Structure 1
Amino acid sequence: MSSLPRVHLRPTMLSDLDFVVSVEQDAANLPFITPWERTQHEGAIRFPDSRHFIVEWGPQAQAQAAGFIILQGCRNPHRSVELKRMVLQPKGQGVGRACLRLIKQLAFQQLHAHRFWLDVKGLNTRAQALYLSEGFVEEGRLRESVRVSIEGADGYDSLIVMSMLDREYQARRAMNEESA
């Protein structure tokens, strides 16, 4: 496998929110997320229990914004950190995998998470495959829990809850499965 692209995270600034909203509203991303209002993003930037990051990729001097990531539960007394959202524009170039590895490292090594979890829409099979290949375990499904409207068709989709525990992450590190 070729090496993953260089990605880094920087804290989202209020001046980045036009970009964040545009990535969320992009037709390639919209079916897979439940978009937030701008004020919800502002709250995530300001709230101490959350971390809101802009994902940049490429050489540091020429890095381009590729998307954003939101973590919640960063001060959770049970050390259960949620990957609330990871929305990227480049598809099929390894940026998502590189981001996921970086954010797992942050969750487990900096935030000292015991459990790192997420939910993903059932129709987002690409993301599910990524999470499974990166060591996340399916815990269960919230059946038909989100309303979905795609090209005028209304319906419901299920959310799949997945997680990774700190000991599972450490085992992956020991087997060199977490290097970027």
Structure 2
Amino acid sequence: MNMQTQSAVLKIRQTEESDLTFVISTENDQENTPYIGQWTFEQHLNSLTNEDMRHLIIENYSGDKIGYVILTGLLDSNKALCIKRIAIQLKGKGYGKETLKLIIRWVFENTGTHRLWLDVKDFNSRARHTYESVGFVFEGTLRDSIFKGDRFESLSIMSILSHEYRSRN
């Protein structure tokens, strides 16, 4: 299923191989690296043809790329879809929140997904606040689950269920 959605502010479309330079640059931006994982070019390239994933580019109406999203679990028999990664290049303009609203709407209106979930580093209060503002609920913490450099980091698990989405809309 091809994914494309838009609002008055943003367009989200399938990532193309020619977008991957932007994706890697966004991922390696100093403002993003503390909060998101990094993949190789080959990992991103392979995800473009993986039926269980959607790799998406976020653009404004001027055609400027402003971020990307990776969804995983499209084939999950438990009807749980994961926002594996969301990275926004232009911060402080509401693009992250708008992207989440578009993703949530598309997921619950175009797939059989029951549970949309994500993990967020426990020290990323800015992102957590944004997730909560669009309906995600804190479920718990995976303590010291990532080893980064010389220390462990914990992840907060958050989700929104289809009936919660429908009651909000």
Q: What TM bracket, shorter-length normalisation?
A: over 0.9
After TM superposition, the score normalised by the length of structure 2 is 0.92
- Higher-Rg structure is 1
For 1:160-171, list aligned pairs within 5 A. 160-171=156-167
Q: Which amino acid in the other structure matches residue 157 of structure 1?
A: E
Deviation at 1:148, TM superposition (A): 3.0
1:37 to 29, 36, 40: 40
Secondary structure class of the residue paired with 1:84: strand
Segments of 4+ moved more than 2 angstroms: none
Asked if structure 2 preserves the Cα contact closer than 8 Å seen for 1:8 and 1:55, the reply is yes
Whole-Å separation in 1 of the counterparts to 2:71 and 2:108? 12
Shift of 1:5: 6.5
What residue identity is the alignment partner of 1:41?
A: H
Whether 1:99 and 2:99 are equivalent positions in the alignment is yes
Report Cα offsets for 1:153-180 as digits up to 9, x if no partner.
x32210111000000000111xxxxxxx
2:17 counterpart of 1:14 = yes
- What residue number does 2:121 align with? 121
The answer as to 2:52 corresponding to 1:49 is yes
- Offset of residue 103 of structure 1: 0.4
Unaligned 5+ segments in structure 2 are 1-6
Question: Using the alignment, how far apart are the partners of 2:18 and 2:43 within structure 1?
Answer: 15
Note the alpha carbon deviations across 1:12-37, whole angstroms, 9 max, x for none: 01111111000000000000011111
In angstroms, what is the RMSD of aligned CA positions?
1.3
Give the superposition deviation at 1:141. 0.6
Percent identity of paired positions between Structure 1 and Structure 2: 40
Query: TM-score by structure 1 length?
Result: 0.87
Higher RCO structure, 1 or 2 (CA under 8 Å, sep 6+): 1
Note if 1:25 corresponds to 2:28.
yes
- Give the helix-richer structure, 1 or 2: 1
Q: 2:123, 2:146 → 1: CA distance?
A: 11
Unpaired runs of 5+ in structure 1? 174-180
Distance 2:17 2:123 in 1: 31
